[in-house]
Structure 1
Amino acid sequence: MIYTGGTIGMVGSDKGLIPGGNMAERLLNQLQTLPEKRRRTLPAFDLLTLPQLIDSSNATPGDWLDLNRLIRHHSRRYQAFIILHGTDTLAYTASALSFLLPQNLPCIVTGSQYPLEKEASDALSNVEASLLVASSLINQPMAHNAGVIVFGGKILQGNRASKVSTHSAQGFDCINLPALGTCSEGKLSWSASAQMAAELKPTPDINFPQISTDAIHDIPQVVILKLWPGIQSQQIASLLAAPVKGVILESYGSGNAPDLNQPLLSAFKAATDRGIIIVNRSQCPEGSVSMSYAAGSALSEAGIISGYDLTCEAAFSKLTLLLCSNLSNKQVKEAFNRNHYAECSV
């Protein structure tokens, strides 16, 4: 178990909530409050605390790469990993780890909406569920075991999940994919889709490209740009210029943009001609972009590629990590269009 920071480990102070220490002792104390029958089903674990705890709103792609290296360093000693993470960017980290880690290595990402010792906190239930899920995946792995989110009684595929509530215990959900299962009060139940996934084998030729060692020190910049009524090309000029290498464009409906706004479309076309990769995904939480309307085909003609039904978090992490590889722009686009680890519905 790796404690990275976040609400789950916060304690009260005169200045409000601050990161607390002694996380291993505090976790064990809380786990001791569970009924003995449920405690006996939990696997043994060690806890590693990062030297510098991260408020997840400060997390960067560099932190994803650091976690990847840390997990791989310890992967011969441990059969599964649980990441205790702040909720703000938890889905980004889970998505990134789903692309970075070996798919046969169970890695759970969890956290909580409320601190561990707070009355009626969701922290203990999420930790208990994560331990049970990790143990289950060790014994019966799925095709894709890395970056699974366990939160609020749900087991979710991390690269298909988003944070959907600022306060609810069910803070995360998958809009375009059913939950893999449920785990609550010590009872674990896998869904039919998860059981089918356990029978699948990853296809070797779709493995995610390796990250360049140079990129670790100079991570390419990717930005997220959301269309709004009345958008003007000059308002977004800085987001379509160096050092930006990639853009996640959040369009209207099924992938539409204002096709009568020629200066905007020209700005997009000029950016793609300069080698900036722009991915089109919908602002709608449910469904995929099709780019079949005239307003959508205009984006395709500008060199913008489809993001299908990828979540914003998965699209951002996938494009960022592909740009960290030694691939050409053409190869990055081809790799982005590939469904590596069931991150989209195509």
Structure 2
Amino acid sequence: MSGRVLVLHTGGTIGMARSPDGYRPMPGFGAVLRRQLAGVSGLPAFDLVELPQPIDSANLQPAQWTTIAAELVARWDDYRGFVVLHGTDTMAWTASALSFMLRGADRPVILTGAQVPLVEPRSDALANLQAALVLAARLECGEIGLFFGRRLLRGNRSTKSSSTAFDAFSSPNAPALAEVGIEIGIDAGQLLPAGARDFARPVFDPRAVAVLTVHPGLSARQVDALTDDPALRGLVLCSYGAGNLPDAEPGLIDALARAVARGVVVVNRTQCAHGPVVQGAYATGAALARIGVVPAADMTLESAFAKLHVLLATHADPARVRTLFATALCGEMS
């Protein structure tokens, strides 16, 4: 293994330029990036690889998680660490997915990007990339992280919380792994240790997992309409508070019970940014536990969705998926 870092450019705002129709991927991005970084002292040596077809972050599909992971794994033993340039809209979703696909990673993978393209005035691109490069070369761990603004977050604990601020991402239920200012402060006690590699390259079915947000007026018929899709194997239920549903709505719990009985793995994630699901705290939550709904603890929506996708793509038995979902695999829950 060399001391070099690999930068994998997958697409996103960082590599875009203005066009008559709005921002589009710019040609020659790699050469522009190298010129911008030339002469900057203190950066590790790096190589740049670009996906042949840049991913529009808003159009990301689960299959592209496998594409990104495959590019990293193919070069894994050749680099000290990895930086993945990615669009911000779905960066936390990809960071979460990679954390479950690259379990046991023995070197860091750091996702970053920009709110303003590299070639635009006042861009945040260079500051994010420079910090990510330094961290990828310095960290002695197997974290799949997300760096943005000033902080390195665990990827599967991060969520995009602002569409306008340079500090666009937050980690509601876990502390930052590092803070970058005049000095770089790394919280070594929070870092995941390197482990035995357990890399997965799943074949994803994009229809296998859906998200249902509980809202006033949600009916059993709406639940049945969503869960009757034969391709659906997992459902992330975004419930109220500590994991509650409106049990006064006729048949709502029964509709979820029918889905569980058909083999759909239903997980219960609170709509609140802070705090965990506690299904036994109220009677409605206890009813979900009785029918086999799995609490998602304090996982982000992105992490719960990605974890369920990866588990369903690698395990056929719903009972096994429910057990593994409730188990902390790579720092995704407290």
Q: In the TM superposition, what is the alpha-carbon distance from 1:237 to its structure 2 partner? A: 2.3
Q: Does structure 1 residue 306 correspond to structure 2 residue 295? A: yes
CA distance in 1, matches of 2:211, 2:29: 35
Q: Distance in 2 between matches of 1:326 and 1:281?
A: 21
**Deviation of residue 219 (structure 1)?**
5.5
- Give the deviation of 1:30 after TM superposition: 2.1
**How do residues 75-114 of structure 1 correspond to structure 2 at under 5 angstroms?**
75-101=76-102, 102-114=104-116
Give per-residue Cα distances to partners, 1:85-137, cap 9 Å, x unaligned.
00000000001111111421211100111100111111110001101110111
- RMSD over aligned Cα, in angstroms? 1.8
Shift of 1:69: 1.1
**TM-score when normalising by structure 1:** 0.89
Moved more, 305-314 or 255-264: 255-264
- Unaligned runs of 5+ residues in structure 2 are 1-6
Answer whether contact 1:42 1:132 (CA < 8 A) is retained.
Answer: yes
CA change 1:190–1:21 in 2 (3 A) is same
Match of residue 177 from structure 2 = 180
Contact 2:62 2:205 (8 Å CA) reproduced: no
Aligned letter for 1:114? V
Give the superposition deviation at 1:209.
8.2
Q: C-alpha displacement at 1:303, in angstroms?
A: 1.7
Structure 2 residue identity aligned to 1:8: I
The separation in 2 between residues aligned to 1:244 and 1:160, in whole angstroms, is: 25
List per-residue Cα deviations over 1:157-212 (Å, max 9, x = no partner): 00000000001000001010111111246x32113xxx1145x64676xx86845x
Is residue 2:189 matched to residue 1:196?
yes
Number of residue-to-residue matches in the alignment = 325
Identity percentage of aligned residues: 38
Distance change in 2, residues 1:49/1:188 (3 Å): same
Taking structure 2 as the reference length, what is the TM-score of the superposition?
0.93
Residue 320 of structure 1 aligns to a residue in which SS?
Answer: helix
Once the two structures are TM-superposed, the CA of residue 75 in structure 1 deviates from its matched residue by 1.1
**SS where residue 51 of structure 1 aligns?**
coil
Name the SS of the counterpart of 1:170 in structure 2.
coil
Asked if 1:337 corresponds to 2:326, the answer is: yes
CA contact (8 A) 2:43 2:134 kept: yes
Asked if residue 235 in structure 1 is aligned to residue 241 in structure 2, the reply is no
Matched, 1:295 2:297: no
- In 1: Cα distance, 2:124 partner to 2:325 partner: 36
Q: Does the CA contact (< 8 Å) of 2:10 and 2:68 recur in 1?
A: no
In the TM superposition, residue 218 of structure 1 has moved relative to its aligned partner by 4.3
Is 1:125–1:184's contact at 8 Å kept on the other side of the alignment? no
Q: Distance in 2 between matches of 1:336 and 1:217?
A: 17
Pairing 1:163–2:174 present: no
1:122 aligned residue:
124
Query: Which residue does 1:12 correspond to in 2?
Result: 18
**Separation in structure 1 between the aligned mates of residue 262 and residue 81 of structure 2, nearest angstrom:** 43
**In 2 relative to 1, CA 121–184 (structure 1 residues): closer, same or farther, beyond 3 Å?**
farther
Q: 5+ unaligned residues in a row in structure 1: which ranges?
A: none
Alpha-carbon distance between aligned partners in 2 of 1:69 and 1:230, rounded to the nearest angstrom: 43
Structure 2 residue 208 is matched with structure 1 residue 221: yes
1:324 aligns with 2:320: no
* 8 Å contact kept, 1:220–1:324: no
CA distance in 1, matches of 2:198, 2:76: 19
